[in-house]
Amino acid sequence: MRRRLKCKRRRGLRPLLHLRFRYAKARYMIKFQNITKIYPPNTVALNDVSFEVEPKEFVCLVGKSGAGKTTLLKLLLAEEKPTSGRIFFDDQDVQKIKSGHLPQLRRKIGAVFQDYKLLPSKTAYENIAYAMEVIGASDSEIARDVAEILDIVGLTERTHNFPVQLSGGEKQRVVIARALIHRPEVILADEPTGNLDPYHALDIIRLLLKINEFGTTIILSTHNKEIINSLGKRTITLHEGKMIRDEKIGRFIL
């Protein structure tokens, strides 16, 4: 109790100092601590996985089909619960976040999953605007931010196209734009190049690199050997739920 009072006083008097103290303590942004995930009755999707991700890192996640990549990303989003272990995001224990506060967590995390479909009856602009409408943004905020994001992803000329009028790569860029709209701290991209030809795949990777240069942390899961080998970024390899490699400059070895 005494400690809590002391802390409260410090926060009241010197908010900035307190903030600095907090960040000095946690260098990592994301921490997986001995995470095991078993889907009932007995599928071990992740087996005692531990790693940390620092702010602004670009991390590739590789592994054969069924290795546990999507499960790992869903656990971070609190879409699935670990069977054991703990996950921290910005010093917060993800499992302890009350369901009412989950939208705040998810706004800090931009998710680019293959099954996160665009709404077919809305244009590129409207698909992104919709994500802002649901959190009550004003019309002027929406107009400003959506135009800016469409410019960042190089789709200004496709603003009023419906998904059916966009190529696969362009659609994926709208999905990334939609994930960027809340200015997330991290983007989780689950096989974002899976359905694309090599040219468009490269386009998406370049876009993720650009977003990373702006300061957003990226976790990219991919099967694409060429992408991993040419990126030369930190690579975590999963094999049957186990983390078998974590290399600073990764190569694709399965």
Ligand X SMILES: Nc1ncnc2c1ncn2[C@@H]1O[C@H](COP(=O)(O)OP(=O)(O)OP(=O)(O)O)[C@@H](O)[C@H]1O
Footprint on this chain of Mg ion (rule: CB under 5 A): 69-70
The residue range among 12-20, 38-46, 83-91, 98-106 that interacts with ligand X, by the rule CB under 6 A, is 38-46
Residue 68 binds to ligand X (criterion: CB under 6 A): yes
- Of 20 and 64, nearer to ligand X (C-beta) is 64
Q: Does 71 bind ligand X (CB under 6 A)?
A: yes
Alpha-carbon radius of gyration of the chain = 19
Question: From the list ligand X, Mg ion, none, which binds 250 (C-beta under 5 to 8 Å, kind-based)?
Answer: none
**How many residues make contact with ligand X (CB under 6 A)?**
11
Identified binder of ligand X from the candidate list 31, 47, 62, 69, rule CB under 6 A: 69
Q: In the set 63, 110, 169, 184, which binds ligand X (CB under 6 A)?
A: 63
> Among 65, 134, 164, 248, which residue sits at the site for ligand X (rule: CB under 6 A)?
65
- 70, amino acid identity: T
Alpha-carbon distances, residue 229 vs 59, 69, 73, 201, 223 (angstroms): 13, 18, 22, 14, 11
In residues, how long is the chain?
A: 254
Burial (CB count <10 Å: 0-12, 13-18, 19+), residue 52 = middle
Binder of ligand X out of 34, 43, 50, 165 (CB under 6 A): 43
Q: Residue 153 class from Cβ within 10 Å (0-12 exposed, 13-18 middle, 19+ buried)?
A: buried
Which residues, 6 or more positions from 15, have their beta carbon under 8 angstroms from its beta carbon?
A: none
Q: Identify the residue among 30, 49, 58, 70 touching ligand X (CB under 6 A).
A: 70
Question: Given the rule CB under 6 A, which of 39-47, 89-97, 101-109, 146-154 is the region that contacts ligand X?
Answer: 39-47
> What, of ligand X, Mg ion, none, does residue 65 touch, CB below 5 to 8 Å by kind?
ligand X
CA-nearest of 95, 93, 113, 128 to 188 is 113
92-93 β-sheet, strand order: 43-53, 30-39, 84-89, 92-93
Binding site for ligand X (CB under 6 A): 39, 43, 45, 63, 65-71
